[in-house]
């Protein structure tokens, strides 16, 4: 079974609107972390936001927020007020404590922001 | 403070040739990782290291070897390159696994684009 699933291969969003990127995960480890990375066309991996499995509140970082639904095993990324510079690939990743600090990545979602 | 750097940025090899990719970090991180990213896919872990002198296999280790002789450097070697190893290779580092929080975040290098003909 896939550990990290991103079901949206690509999506368009209008500039200044919000967009939600889906991520579901599968683990039996009670202690884990969920990460979102952005990969622009230049290729580098940019860390955006982190959510720990024991965190009581959803993580937020500027325009990024993580909608963490533990029972559903989902960790969706919400980007508010989209900007043209948000056009990129977005990857969800999970770290399971029992597996050390190794990250398992989803297949990614490509976001294109339209002016 | 350069973060994570990778050398070279691009390389073209012929089948059967060997090469070494160098990753260096100046953040005093204990953990270092090598990933590969194939077109349209996420990253897959090749090998990783939890400290100087240690290495361990990841998800896709076959055809690769690694060494961590110094804390700041992590080398990835291809002894006999194959076309299936054409990919973009990313190195990453993190502080440790002990802290259960964002301090565990992995920071990535810019990547090395390798083509094997």
H/E stretch holding A32: strand A32-39
Task: Evaluate if residue B99 carries a pLDDT over 50.
Answer: no
Of A43, A44, A102, which is closest to B45 when you measure between CB atoms? A102
Mean pLDDT in residue range A12-21: 97
pLDDT tens digit sequence for A37-81: 999 999 889 999 999 999 889 999 999 999 999 999 999 999 999
- pLDDT for B97: 55
Q: Which residue has the tokens 């012929």?
A: B14
Q: Least CA distance to B88: which residue of chain A?
A: A43
Rounded to whole angstroms, the Cα distance separating B81 from B13 reads 7
DSSP chain B: ---EEEE-SEEEE-TT--EEEEEEESS--SEEEEEEE-TTS-EEEEEEESSTT--EE-SS-TT-EEE-SSTTEEEEEESS--GGG-EEEEEEEES-SSS-SGGG--EE---EEEEE-
Task: Evaluate if residue B104 carries a pLDDT over 80.
Answer: no
Cβ distance B97 to A105 less than 8 Å, yes or no, reads no
Q: What are the angstrom distances between the C-alpha of A92 and each of A8, B61, B73, B96, B110?
A: 12, 22, 27, 20, 19
Interface of chain B against chain A, CB under 8 Å? 31, 33, 40-45, 48, 50, 58-59, 88, 90, 92, 94, 96-97, 100-102, 104-108, 110-111
- pLDDT for A114: 96
- pLDDT for B50: 87
Burial of B114 (0-12, 13-18, 19+ CB in 10 A): buried
Mean pLDDT in residue range B33-37: 95
pLDDT tens digit sequence for B46-98: 999 989 999 999 999 999 999 999 999 999 999 999 999 999 999 999 886 55
- pLDDT for A103: 85
Task: Evaluate if residue A100 carries a pLDDT over 80.
Answer: no
Of B42, B44, B50, which is closest to A100 when you measure between CB atoms? B50
Nearest-5° Cα angle at B113, B90 to A7? 60
Rounded to whole angstroms, the Cα distance separating A19 from A111 reads 9
Tokens encoding A114: 């339209």
Rounded to whole angstroms, the Cα distance separating B92 from B102 reads 15
- pLDDT for A1: 60
φ/ψ bin of B57: left (φ > 0), alpha (ψ from -120 to 50), beta (otherwise): beta
Query: What is the pLDDT of chain A when averaged over all its residues?
Result: 93
Helix (H, G, I), strand (E, B) or coil at A87: coil
- pLDDT for B72: 96
pLDDT tens digit sequence for B10-26: 999 999 999 999 999 99
In chain A, the N- to C-terminal Cα span, in Å, equals: 38
């Amino acid at each position: 079974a896939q550990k990290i699933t991103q079901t949206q291969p690509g999506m368009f969003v209008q500039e200044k609107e919000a967009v939600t990127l889906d991520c579901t995960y599968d683990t039996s480890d009670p202690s884990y972390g969920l990460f979102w990375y952005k990969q622009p066309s230049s290729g580098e991996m940019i860390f955006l936001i982190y959510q720990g499995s024991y965190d009581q509140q959803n993580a937020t970082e500027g325009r990024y927020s993580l909608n963490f639904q533990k029972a559903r095993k989902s960790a969706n990324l919400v980007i508010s007020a989209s900007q043209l510079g948000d056009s990129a690939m977005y990857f969800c990743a999970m770290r399971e404590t029992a597996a050390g600090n190794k990250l398992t990545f989803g297949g990614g979602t490509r976001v294109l922001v339209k002016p | 403070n350069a973060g994570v750097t990778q050398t070279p940025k691009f390389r073209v090899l012929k089948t059967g040739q060997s090469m070494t990719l160098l990753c260096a970090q100046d953040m005093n991180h204990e953990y270092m990782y090598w990933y590969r990213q194939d077109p349209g896919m996420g990253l897959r872990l090749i090998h990783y290291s939890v400290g100087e002198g240690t290495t361990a296999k990841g998800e896709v280790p076959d055809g690769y070897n690694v060494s961590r002789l110094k804390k700041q450097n992590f080398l990835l070697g291809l002894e006999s390159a194959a076309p299936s190893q054409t990919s973009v290779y990313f190195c990453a580092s993190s502080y440790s696994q002990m802290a259960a929080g964002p301090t565990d975040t992995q920071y990535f290098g810019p990547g090395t684009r390798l083509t094997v003909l």
